[in-house]
Chains A and B, each alone.
Chain A
Amino acid sequence: MKRSLALLLPVVFCLIASSAQGVAAQETPNTPPVPKAKALTLVEASVCENMKGSSPVDPAIVFSASLGKIYCFTSFDPVPREMDIYHEWYRKDKLKAKVKLTLKPPRWSTFSSMRIRKSDLGPWQVYITDAKGRVFKIVRFSVTE
């Protein structure tokens, strides 16, 4: 009997020691989290036939060249600080215009416009990027007859 107890004691000691280490590891997440800066987020992007105030009118993916002018509307929320974004207008992978727009916190909607003619028929894209060239979204549409 005494011999059995002598064998069990080291095992019990080891178990107690290991459970104490686990408690210590679980304590680390309890340290207070550092508040993260909210990133600039695009909430809406569309190409539309017209703008009414700061709202897009008739967003679509096909526009008649007879319209003469179209708009790219973008809305960001949140906007952590004043910063610039770009609307890059491409026709069939060829850059036609790069428009710089300034955003202001805490949220901001803005738009750029493009004149379209008969000679501009075909597929288009608007790349919405930040100052470093990071693309938020590509809006695709076509200019038709």
Chain B
Amino acid sequence: MENLLLFVSSIRWQDIVDIVLNSYILFRLYVLFRGTPVLRVLIGIALLWFSQRVAVALGLVLTSWAIQGITAAAALIIIVVFRNEIRSVLQAKNLKAILWGVPHQTGETPVETIAETAFELANKRVGAIMVFPGADDLDELIQGGIGWDGLVSREMIGSIFWHDNPVHDGAAIIQGNRIKKVAAVLPLSRRDDLPSRYGTRHRAAVGLAEMTDAMVLVVSEERGSVVLVKGTEIRTIRKKEVLTEAIEEHVGSTKTQWGYRRKEKRELAVAALASLILITAVWFSFTRGQESLVAFDIPVEYVNRNPATEIVDTSVNTIHVGLSGPGTLIKSLRPDQVKVRLDLSKAAVGHNSFAITSDDIDLPPGLVLRKVKPSTVEVTLDVPQEKILPVQVDWVGKLRNDLILTGAKVVPARVKIKGGKTILDGLSTIYTEKVRLDQIEKSGSLKVKLALEPATLMIAAGSSDTVTVDYVVEKRALDLSAR
């Protein structure tokens, strides 16, 4: 539950825009290319891509690599092979149609043309069978057939059912103003009460009509009659006007009640939902699917400090920050995009302790703070000051037993030191770096640097960080070892 809340809280508005935008692009591609072979190939490529992701998830290195190659090649091939279809879609439509419009696949059925052509065929004794689907899906009942997708015209119907045409034996499926399929094989009726003059064409018409709400128009080759079959009713039509009216009634009723528009709307809604689901899945795969961890050492920025004070000491200079987030974000993340800012507006002169919270750390959107180390930072503030301090030599080592160091003069004897007031208040002497006695055998002079402790101390302008030490060594009157 906690993980779910964390996940929901980590979704950015950019992510939602990302998903919606790409879902709409996918949906538009479907709308523009539906009914063309391009869509089927696009679906194939999507399946290839999905297979590749599955292969990656399963750790099938070679398979994923091969599928990735095939997918890339297929994407190129689709553009080359289907360039004409793509061009026709893009050229045939204006910008509004590409971005927003939904082209209807079926137009008004040219009923009069069909009626006229039916009687012309009848006169010429050319057999024909035309199916006008209703709301029922015919795909499962119709076998075979060749996709046609041509506009209905007298010449087109005439040529389809012409004797020498290889597809003239099957049925033509007419949807709207288009002949969707030709040479379709319809289920034959098992009725035994059909007149003996009805051949296979009639039996097929009756077979489909009794199983669906489609209307079937049959032109008899032998007798030149026109028969209309719907449901169980078989009507011989003698006048063109009657046929026109009958077809109009069927097509009109399917439009208003269970028509194609409604079917089309349902199809588009399913496509939109599928696009959304698919893109969401892809988005997850790209982003959340590869949750990654990364850690950086980020320099601490101290902000809003009182200008009269200065930072003389901090417990740390960098904070170890552990982050998690989508792999793509983590991969592109640079340390300088993460900021650790400590607000010193409430800090006082002296020692301050601050707990590092998520408010102190700026992260790019989409990343989650997992670890902060250390969790607290100690900051010492002080008022900058200068102080003149005497210099003392820090002798170390062992002087020869027969020698005695009787005096040393340091030049300059005093130096001006810059640092925090509280530190300087506690200091009364500045020491030199350690000077070894082991090599000293007689009086002499040496230059030595000052040891500034703590390191926040500095030599003020006008003072040198090096002093000269003139020392005096004398022979001991009585050897210590002899004592």
A residues whose Cβ falls under 8 Å from a Cβ of B: 58-62, 64, 67, 92-93, 121-123, 125, 138, 140, 142, 144-145
CB-nearest residue of chain B to A90: B428
Q: What 20 new A-B contacts, CB under 8 Å, besides A60-B404, A93-B426, A144-B395?
A: A58-B477, A60-B405, A60-B406, A61-B395, A61-B406, A61-B407, A62-B399, A62-B405, A62-B437, A64-B398, A64-B399, A67-B480, A121-B396, A123-B393, A123-B395, A125-B392, A138-B390, A142-B396, A145-B397, A145-B398
Number of interface residues of B (CB under 8 A): 23
Instruction: Say yes or no: is B15 at the interface (Cβ < 8 Å to chain A).
Output: no
B405 touches A123 (CB 8 A): no
B390 touches A142 (CB 8 A): no
B399 surroundings in chain A (CB, below 8 A): 62, 64, 144
Question: Could you give, for residues 386-404 of chain B, a 1 whenever the CB lies within 8 Å of some chain A CB and a 0 otherwise?
Answer: 0000101111111100001
Q: How far is the CA of A58 from the CA of B405 in the complex (A)?
A: 9
In terms of DSSP, what is the predominant structure of the interface of chain A? Answer: strand
B404 surroundings in chain A (CB, below 8 A): 58, 60
CB-nearest residue of chain A to B401: A64
A121 surroundings in chain B (CB, below 8 A): 396
Partner of A144, one of B396, B406, B407, B408: B396
Q: How many A-B residue pairs have CB under 8 A?
A: 53
A125 surroundings in chain B (CB, below 8 A): 392, 428-429
Instruction: Say yes or no: is B431 at the interface (Cβ < 8 Å to chain A).
Output: yes
Given A59-B406, A64-B399; A144-B427 close (CB under 8 Å): no
Nearest CB of A to B470, in Å: 12
A93 touches B427 (CB 8 A): yes
B429 touches A123 (CB 8 A): yes
CB-nearest residue of chain A to B410: A140
B residues whose Cβ falls under 8 Å from a Cβ of A: 390, 392-399, 404-408, 426-429, 431, 437, 476-477, 480
Partner of A142, one of B393, B407, B426, B477: B393
B394 touches A123 (CB 8 A): yes
B394 surroundings in chain A (CB, below 8 A): 122-123, 142
A-B contacts, 27 listed (Cβ < 8 Å):
A58-B404, A58-B476, A60-B406, A61-B395, A61-B406, A62-B395, A62-B405, A62-B437, A93-B426, A93-B428, A121-B396, A122-B394, A123-B392, A123-B395, A125-B392, A125-B428, A138-B390, A140-B390, A140-B429, A142-B393, A142-B396, A144-B395, A144-B397, A144-B398, A145-B396, A145-B397, A145-B398
CB-nearest residue of chain A to B408: A61
CB-nearest residue of chain A to B391: A140
Q: How far is the CA of A123 from the CA of B393 in the complex (A)?
A: 8
A64 surroundings in chain B (CB, below 8 A): 398-399, 480
Partner of B392, one of A58, A60, A67, A140: A140
Q: Most chain-B Cβ atoms within 10 A of its Cβ — which of A60, A64, A93, A125? A: A60
A144 surroundings in chain B (CB, below 8 A): 395-399, 437
